[in-house]
Structures are given as C-alpha cells and as structure tokens.
Amino acid sequence: MKRVIGASVAIAIATVGFAEGVGTDDVVYGEYGEVEVSLSGQPGNAEAGLEIMVARGKGNCIACHQVTALDEYPFHGEVGPSLDGIGAYRTAEELRGIVANPKMTYEGTIMPAFYRISGFTRPGNGFTGKAAEGALSPLLTAQEIEDVVAYLQTLKD
C-alpha cells in the first residue's frame, strides 16, 4: 500500500512539475517545426543563453556554428550555418523548435535534438560508452533552451 501511495505522490509531483512547462514528450511542433509556447513556462535569459552557447558541457553551439558576436570564445565550427543575424530572420517560435528538435524543421539534419529523450539507437549513459540506465535527460533543460532562444534573438545582424 505504501508503494502505491509513493507512486501516486511521484506522479502528482511530476504533474505539478510540468504544469508550468512542457515535458519532452509533450512538445507540440507546428507544420514547419516551430513551437509556440515557452518550454519552461518562463521567459528566457539571454545572458544565461550566451554561457550555454559556448560551454562544452552544455549547448556548445559554437562547436558547429560560427557566431561573430562570440568571437572572444575560440574555435567556432563550420558544420552548421553561421548564426549571424538569425534573430532577424527567425522567430522565437521557430528557434525554439529548431533547438528542441531540429529534425522537425530540417529532415535528416546532423544537428542533435536538445529537448528529446526517446527514439535513439543504443542510447548511452552520457559519454561513458555504457548503456543508459533508466530514462535519459534532455541535453538541455526547458529553461536552458528558453535562454538559448533568448540569446539567439539578440543576433540581429
């Protein structure tokens, strides 16, 4: 009996946890892969987003994308397009969808999905090379994605 109560408490907490935001399996993508609502239910913080853009253990966006505004951080990649000016020609909704799961916008893209935890082949336990134990965590949290989106919106030219 205790176990049952424990489980229902866990579900209740989970439900409360997602009440303000969107879980990884509940993201609604539009026709072109855009996502209308904030994943965390909160606005993003562009300054925090910048840190996530350049941190190897976080978004590490510049591993693949060149960003002139981030020139002081060394080693920008060439795998993806430059993000210069992306805030001028992409909406927040489009950017959110692309960061959360770019395959919904660009079929077959090399870019990883930062807010997805299922549908992978041989998912591992982080970078250990061993099998994943239990459910995966998304590469970025809902709020971290909102922060990145807020930063990307500042890239106007």
Question: Could you tell me which stretch among 16-24, 76-84, 92-100, 142-150 binds another protein (CB under 8 A)?
Answer: 76-84
Q: Which of 129, 134, 135, 157 binds another protein (CB under 8 A)?
A: 129
60 touches another protein (CB under 8 A): yes
CB of 123 to another protein, least distance (A): 5
16 touches another protein (CB under 8 A): no
Sign of CA dihedral 48, 49, 50, 53: positive
Question: Could you tell me which stretch among 36-44, 85-93, 107-115, 147-155 binds another protein (CB under 8 A)?
Answer: 107-115
Q: Which of 5, 72, 107, 130 binds another protein (CB under 8 A)?
A: 130
Closest CB to another protein among residues 21, 112: 112
45 touches another protein (CB under 8 A): no
Q: What are phi and psi of 131, to 5 degrees?
A: -65, 150
CA 118/CA 139 separation, integer angstroms = 12
| DSSP assignment of 45-90 | -HHHHHHHHH-TTTT-GGGT---GGGTTS----SSSPP-TTHHHHS
Residue 49's alpha-carbon distances to 16, 43, 60, 102, in angstroms, are 26, 12, 11, 18
Q: For the chain, what's the residue count? A: 157
124 touches another protein (CB under 8 A): yes
Q: Which of 1, 5, 16, 110 binds another protein (CB under 8 A)?
A: 110
Residue 123's CB is within 10 A of a number of other CB atoms, namely 12
Question: Could you tell me which stretch among 12-20, 36-44, 58-66, 144-152 binds another protein (CB under 8 A)?
Answer: 58-66
